């Protein structure tokens, strides 16, 4: 069991599951909510084609480069890009997204999925720049779709 989210999806539980598979131990996932999928469902973005990238690089230049590649892929394939960030880096991530992504790209920010105060908002980067958020230090999922 993981403390939150889905075991083995952007989670150290993946190592345990891989070891169990290697040793022919049956692994049975339990049915439960996934903040990643729930955020996609609430976003209004493309749920037919999407890519989950886990955590992006921490170094600013590497993160910017990764976001540019993800946005290019999103535009070419009409593919929603999904990733997560640690709560204490939410504001930095949000500010980076506003400075890197194209003004017409749709950005969804989901907070506290399945918890009290759950919020999901989708706007263009242009709209986000007009009404920026001060982000809480809460679990967040980021999704975007280039137009």
Question: Number of helices (H) and strands (E), helices first, in the chain?
Answer: 5, 5
Closest to 95 (Cα-Cα) out of 137, 119, 70, 128: 128
In the chain, which segments carry CATH 3.30.950.10? 34-145
Question: Alpha carbon of 82 to those of 24, 29, 30, 43: distances in Å?
Answer: 32, 22, 23, 11
Q: What is the CATH code of the structural domain delimited by 34-145?
A: 3.30.950.10
Cα–chain center distance at 120? 12
pLDDT tens track for 103-145 = 999 999 999 888 888 999 999 999 999 987 888 788 899 999 9
* Token pair in block for residue 80: 């929603």
pLDDT tens track for 52-110 = 999 999 999 999 999 999 999 999 999 999 999 999 999 999 999 999 999 999 999 99
pLDDT tens track for 8-59 = 677 777 888 889 889 999 988 777 778 899 999 999 999 999 999 999 999 9
């Amino acid at each position: 069991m993981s403390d939150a989210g889905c075991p083995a999806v952007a989670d150290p539980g993946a190592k345990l599951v891989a070891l169990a598979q290697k040793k022919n131990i049956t692994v049975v996932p339990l049915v439960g909510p996934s903040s990643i999928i729930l955020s996609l469902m609430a976003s209004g973005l493309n749920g037919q084609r999407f890519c989950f990238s886990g955590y992006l690089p921490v170094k600013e230049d590497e993160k910017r480069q990764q976001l540019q590649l993800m946005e290019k892929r999103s535009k070419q394939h009409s593919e929603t890009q999904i990733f997560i960030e640690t709560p204490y880096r939410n504001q930095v991530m949000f500010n980076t997204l506003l400075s890197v992504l194209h003004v017409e790209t749709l950005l969804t920010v989901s907070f506290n999925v399945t918890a009290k105060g759950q919020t999901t908002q989708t706007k263009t980067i242009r709209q986000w720049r007009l009404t920026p958020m001060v982000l809480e230090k809460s679990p967040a999922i980021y999704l975007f779709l280039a137009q």
